[in-house]
Amino acid sequence: MVDQRRIDDQRWVDARAAAKHLGIQVRSLYAYVSRGQVRSVPGEQGRPRLYALGDLERLRVRRDARAGHGAVAAGALRWGEPVLDSAVTAITPRGPAYRGRLAVELAAEGLPFENVAELLWSGYLPPGAVTWPRSAMPHAQLARLIGADAPPLDVMPLLVQVAALADPERDDRRPDAFVTRGRRLIPLLAAALAPGFGAATVTRALGAGSVARIAARALGVDEVHAPVIDQVLVLLADHELNASSFTARVTASTDANPYACVAAALATLSGPKHGSASLEVAQFADEVGSPEAAKAAVRALRKQGQVPPGFGHPLYATGDPRTPPLLDAAARIGHARRTRTLLAVVAATTDAFPSVDVGLAALVAALGVPASAGPGLFAVARSAGWLAHALEQRAAGHLLRPRARYVGVPVRDAIAIESANR
């Protein structure tokens, strides 16, 4: 059985412990729950309800802001208070909004991913179809270096480095040069979805007219599903200061080139608590095995005060708005066993809402492609956001260098404060 804590380290406590954590009465805790600020799950067999410790911690950080900036800074990197200004994406109850435009609306309108990427980069949404150039790449030679079972997230960093080495002007700091490299790099990432980066498949894929069609050809999916892939890419294109986008900003703040920003972000995305979370969801569905077993599996988790992997998002107390469109698309496309199982898990989990990772896993299963395609599609989509954040950070012109509050063995020798900033 997959433990949800492997996804987001979520812990659950009873009402008394929750109230003590906040220093409030239990009745005040219920007020926070009713406002959607603290998630709760029912106890099994008559046991009391349990409350999300992560939500309690965020509330305590906000309360402790009165104690000074140190308390705020301590919790800011744990889904806490904002740490920097950005004009790229806002998180709203209706999901992320790119430069003021809701992602769910952009996806529902059927806008191509390329147009949305341009919106993220410049603030301008092109009215017509956007076509990006293709970069030359030694596909056959690279394919010989890559194992047949290599997942896309293992192939993409190699492609980024090869593309960087082939670009003598990669350190051009002009914003338009930065964007130009993004337009050439993202189609390559989409081609990396091809199993084993097969040379013939990659060549055919790069001949397609859009990133979504490149992805469809690379995955061996009928191009009739390209609009659904566009929808996935648009919904996942950015999500404010997620871990990989923050990594891209840190890298960009050193004046690193766009290839380095994307490579650093890819490394961060690869973790199961971020871009690879849909794999955990798929594994859970496979372990459950059938829709009929889903309810029993969910009940077993709830007895432990847990929910299935991919459920509950700290930013969306009433559900991730990006998930329903993907689940709907999965239900329309096909009836793969994993898709049916995941939909049954969603139906059986009444008090917790599925995150976008559940929707992505269900859609990948419906398309009939390996589960590893989920993180790959996530990376292709989020690369647009990485470049947008990298551009914004370079324009800000300062190095991102957080400070640490030392809690180790006391320092006995006096050290100049300036040395800590080197």
Q: Please state the three-class secondary structure of the chain as a single string.
A: CCCCHHHHCCCEEEHHHHHHHHCCCHHHHHHHHHCCCCCEECCCCCCCCEEEHHHHHHHHHHHHHHHCHHHHHHHHCCCCCCCCCCCCEEEECCEEEECCEEHHHHHHCCCCHHHHHHHHHHCCCCCCCCCCCCCCCCHHHHHHHCCCCCCHHHHHHHHHHHHHHCCCCCCCCCHHHHHHHHHHHHHHHHHCCCHHHCHHHHHHHHCCCCHHHHHHHHHCCCHHHHHHHHHHHHHCCCCCCCHHHHHHHHHHHCCCCHHHHHHHHHHHHCCCCCCCHHHHHHHHHHHHCCHHHHHHHHHHHHHCCCCCCCECECCECCCCCCHHHHHHHHHHHCCCHHHHHHHHHHHHCCCCCECHHHHHHHHHHHHCCCCCHHHHHHHHHHHHHHHHHHHHHHHHCCCCCCCCCCCCCCCCCCCCHHHHHC
Q: What is the pLDDT of residue 125?
A: 95
Q: Is 31 found in the same domain as 150?
A: no
**CATH value at residue 259:** 1.10.580.10
Q: Is 42 found in the same domain as 115?
A: no
> Does some domain include residue 96?
yes
> Does some domain include residue 35?
yes
Average pLDDT of the residues in 70-75: 53
Domain boundary among 31, 50, 76: 76
Least confident of 12-16, 232-236, 417-421: 417-421
Specify the number of domains making up the chain.
2
Q: What is the pLDDT of residue 418?
A: 54
The more confident residue out of 311 and 384 is: 384
Give catalytic residues, as residue numbers. 274, 313, 357
- 140 falls in which pLDDT band (50, 70, 90)? confident
> Does some domain include residue 147?
yes
Q: Which domain holds residue 56?
A: 5-76
> Does some domain include residue 405?
no
- Judged against a pLDDT cut of 90, whether residue 293 lies above it is answered with no
Q: What is the pLDDT of residue 107?
A: 97
Q: What is the pLDDT of residue 208?
A: 95
pLDDT 10s digits, 250-292: 999 999 999 999 999 999 999 988 989 999 989 888 888 887 8
Least confident of 127-136, 324-333, 377-386: 127-136
- Judged against a pLDDT cut of 80, whether residue 184 lies above it is answered with yes
CB-neighbour burial class of residue 165 (10 A; exposed 0-12, middle 13-18, buried 19+): exposed
Q: Is 132 found in the same domain as 59?
A: no
- 168 falls in which pLDDT band (50, 70, 90)? very high
Indicate the average pLDDT of the chain. 86
Q: What is the pLDDT of residue 199?
A: 86
Q: Is 391 found in the same domain as 307?
A: yes
The more confident residue out of 310 and 211 is: 211
Average pLDDT of the residues in 150-163: 94
- Judged against a pLDDT cut of 90, whether residue 175 lies above it is answered with yes
pLDDT 10s digits, 324-344: 999 999 989 876 777 778 778
- Judged against a pLDDT cut of 70, whether residue 116 lies above it is answered with yes
Q: What is the pLDDT of residue 67?
A: 53
Q: What is the pLDDT of residue 78?
A: 60
Q: What is the pLDDT of residue 2?
A: 36
- Decide: 399 and 202 in contact? Cβ < 8 Å: no
